Homo-oligomer: A and B are copies of this chain.
Amino acid sequence: MGDNIRIGIMGWGNLGKGTKEAIEKTPDMQLVSVFTRRDPQQVGSNFPQVNFLPANKAEEYVDSIDVMILCGGSATDLPEQTPYYSKLFNTVDSYDTHAKIPEHFKSVDKAAQENGKTAAISIGWDPGLFSLNRMIAEAILPEGNEYTFWGKGVSQGHSDAVRRVDGVKNGLQYTIPKEEVMERVRKGEDPSLSAKERHLRECYIVAEEGADKKQIEEEIKNMPHYFDEYETKVFFITEEELAQNHAGIPHGGFVIRSGKTGPEASTNQIMEFGLKLDSNPEFTASALVAYARAVHRLNKEGQTGAKTIFDIPPVYLSTRTPFNMRKEML
């Protein structure tokens, strides 16, 4: 297995764990080590076959890791970590703060270029595969409208918000695309609707004993920015129901391009890409691992610097040879 791509994982949350699983499903990669800022012994106690090391030991592995997959969060970890580790390793991250991507790209590109490394940023599904589909669909059908629907899925920020309401013991929030709006889009009706009009929000709340449920519901529904402009439903459930029916981290959504072609632009052409994920972090991790393969190959070819999902030739993602791919998959 000497030719395997040697992978490091930086960060051991849900994304890091999913990355370990995804690596094990490939025939051409091996996990060299997981790096964590917590106590490696404690963190790794349930995974005796994995080599856990403190994050500050990563520098010692520059010659034995081909790609470092960065599994930290976008708020504070990745803006620091990706530029730093892209000086030492080829990297992949899932940086998802859309508004700050150009800034992140710039700092990562500089670090990677100066050190002959290749870094794929903002890999996952949005940003990621959704972006890719939006872009390709627009390029093919320049006349038209694009719609992104998110969900059904758990929104972390909105779940945090409902848990801060007085009298709420626990709870979470699902973002749900409105099926009737999606059907109108799929028919080529091109409705002009904001994100607020395309989605509804469902909250599953465990109330504290004796709490005023009507009051909780009112407070959630009127919460500025988070809920007040949305159609919001609030359901009260028990702690047991929450644990039993809402333990997963599902997500997904749809990117639909409603394009027009022909002499009068009168022909409807609908392109749709959708994901239904029972585990958001496990899927994102699987994308990171496929793009780690691409990053390794690009770097071997001398293509250095920061790359996004737009830049990377799809052929680099697969374990198939180009010949086999043309024969079997085209």
Contacts and interface: CB of A to CB of B under 8 A. Distances in A.
Interface stretch (A62-70, A165-173, A237-245, A265-273): A265-273
B282 A275 contact: no
B274 A272 contact: yes
Q: How many copies does the complex hold?
A: 2
Given A25-B142, A310-B314, A314-B310, A101 B286 contact: no
B135 A329 contact: yes
B271 A275 contact: yes
B142 A317 contact: no
Interface residues of A, number: 72
Interface string A287-330: 10110010000000000000011111111011110110111011
B26 A142 contact: yes
A82 interface: no
A213 interface: no
A316 to B, nearest CB: 9
Given A268-B278, A270-B275, A279-B261, A319 B139 contact: yes
A279 B293 CA distance: 37
Contacts of A259: 286
Contacts of A290: 136, 139-140
Contacts of A139: 290, 293, 314, 317-319
Interface of A: 18, 21-22, 25-26, 98, 101-102, 105, 122, 127, 129, 131-136, 138-143, 186, 188, 252, 259, 261-263, 265, 267-279, 282-283, 285-287, 289-290, 293, 308-315, 317-320, 322-323, 325-327, 329-330
B310 A325 contact: yes
A322 B306 CA distance: 12
A70 B76 CA distance: 51
Nearest to A131: B330
Contacts of A141: 283, 286
A122 B330 contact: yes
A20 to B, nearest CB: 9
Contact of A102 (B98, B133, B323): B323
Given A269-B277, A317-B136, A330-B131, A310 B286 contact: no
Contacts of A261: 18, 21-22, 25, 279, 282-283, 285-286
Contacts of A26: 142
